[in-house]
Structure 1
Amino acid sequence: MSSESLQPAPALCRRTLLAGLGAAGIAAALTACGGSDDSSSGSSDTSSGSDASSGSAGGAALAKTTDIPEGGGKVFADEGVVVTQPAAGEFKAFSTVCPHQKQRVNSVDNGLITCPAHGSQFSVTDGGVKKGPATSGLTAAKITVTGDSITLA
């Protein structure tokens, strides 16, 4: 009887194992996305969401360049990315996860990416905070622009 009362210990071990597996999956995804491929883009690796010269990428095409309005952008909710075109022919991408409380941004208007949960707004140029309550910007995502096709890298 007393050995049956010790059942909670395996549940704790399962939780620890699952948490560890989740962390390993996140680490693998971050390694794949932010890996050690050549990141010799312009001035900043984290704010440049695109690299038009990086060749072929393994992802499926998100959109045509003509689908992304200049000075604006488009949210791809299923892919968890927002693609912007701050200036003609310049494309950036950011995670849709708002750093404030992990809600998802859902619109791009007038040069701003907006989170509907608490009204945080971010720049289409670099994902930086334009209006809080968020205190940090959106995380850059990698895209590849080849011809008129935008692909998630």
Structure 2
Amino acid sequence: MSSESLQPAPAICRRTLLAALGGVGIAATLTACGASDDKSSDSSDSSDSSDATSGSAGGAALAKTTDIPEGGGKVFADQSVVVTQPTAGEFKAYSTVCPHQKQRVNSVDNGLITCPAHGSQFSVTDGSVKKGPATSGLTAAKITVSGDSITLA
């Protein structure tokens, strides 16, 4: 036998192996999150149509209009939506998914919707970024207000 056939296989550098495995994990995460990004960016272009003020919808009833404070809002974690009332009788809704790192916003206070992960804050009026690190606003969600009932469209 020749000495070439008995040589060990080249060693894989630990750093190279970790980088390769990390890349696979990141690719899987981006693939999983990518589908929701595509949908959310499509719906954000129609923010005016997301603020329905009359009619009925086949969606799930979220709350009574009296449950949403004027100048504030309420997070509905199970439905992944936050409903706000920027001015009396005007209701808006946004996805609870923070565009920064896909964590969930969890509170509304003093006219701001807050993500607890890194402190990003968004306006109750239009979902725009008021404080980063997020660089884009919350995605508009569709709701219907009929009488005193707010329904997810």
TM-score by length of structure 1 reads: 0.71
Q: Secondary structure at the match of 2:86?
A: strand
Match of 2:130?
A: 130
Shift of 1:50: 1.7
In the alignment, the residues of structure 1 paired with residue 48 and residue 137 of structure 2 have an alpha-carbon distance, to the nearest angstrom, of 10
1:142–1:69: structure 2 CA closer, same or farther, 3 Å change rule? same
Matches within 5 A, 1:73-92: 73-92=73-92
Match of 2:47?
A: 46
Q: Contact 1:48–1:92 at 8 Å: present in 2 too?
A: no
1:143–1:45: structure 2 CA closer, same or farther, 3 Å change rule? same
Q: What percentage of aligned pairs have identical amino acids?
A: 84
The total of aligned residue pairs comes to 121
Structure 2 stretches lacking a partner, 5+ long: 1-30
Structure 1 stretches lacking a partner, 5+ long: 1-18, 35-43
Match of 2:117?
A: 117
Q: Secondary structure at the match of 1:90?
A: coil
Letter in structure 1 aligned against 2:46: D
TM-score by length of structure 2 reads: 0.71
RMSD: 2.7
Q: Contact 1:47–1:127 at 8 Å: present in 2 too?
A: no
In the alignment, the residues of structure 2 paired with residue 103 and residue 78 of structure 1 have an alpha-carbon distance, to the nearest angstrom, of 14
Shift of 1:49: 3.3
Q: Is 2:150 the partner of 1:141?
A: no
Shift of 1:47: 5.2
Q: Secondary structure at the match of 1:139?
A: coil
Greater C-alpha Rg: 2
Q: Is 2:62 the partner of 1:69?
A: no
Q: Secondary structure at the match of 1:66?
A: helix
